[in-house]
Amino acid sequence: MRVKIEESWNNVLEKFFIKDYFKLLVQKIKNEYKYHKIYPKGDKIFNAFNLCPFDSLKVVIIGQDPYHGKGQANGLSFSVEKNIKIPPSLKNIFIELKNNYPEYEYTDGDLSRWANQGVLLLNSVLTVRKSEPGSHSNIGWEKFTDFVIKNISSKKRNVVFLLWGKYAQSKSRLIDENKHLILKSSHPSPFSAHKGFFKNFHFKKTNEYLLSNNINEINW
């Protein structure tokens, strides 16, 4: 089936899109949008892919599922729309950015500026019911996003994977660490940020690795 997704991603993922498994997933998601309030908006489901083409991808940041509050989710992990209050985990990400780059300032929680530079902000689950975190876990998205991670690992070189928290770290099994850099720490959530997320210097380490491989760094 034809999926509305950026062309270089379509070339990588088209084998998955034609599987009966994916067609069933699409049908489930269409029914969810029909009978429930689902986030993000339908045209933002593949936003992470559309803003960060496969051909220009440098960094992957893996989240779990979208924010479930009104107007928050914009299809990018950890990111919210410009006019939305910045959630606690993202606030801690910005604090750590300031640890890396003291001059760093932010005005909103929209991370599309990262995506446009080659950062894939990938949630493992791409949709969620309003006010029901985890409600779309185990309906099929994980198989799709695992396929995405495997293809990045096998088809690209020198990508930085930022795995924050145990859930994201469980995806390391899909990544060839001989070809890529995997950086792990606790999750930026207020419950765990003090257990290793703060002062992990992942943003600086990412740029150092990219530069060492003659890849343009990210302007965080």
Active site residue 65: yes
Edge-to-edge strands, sheet with 160-164: 119-123, 59-63, 160-164, 181-185
Could you tell me which of 119, 99, 60 has the C-alpha nearest to residue 197? Answer: 99
- Which of 92, 89, 63 is CA-nearest to residue 163? 63
Considering the candidates 20, 43, 55, 65, report the single residue annotated as catalytic: 65
**Cα torsion 177, 181, 182, 183: sign:** positive
Which amino acid would we find at residue 75?
G
The residues assigned a catalytic role are 65
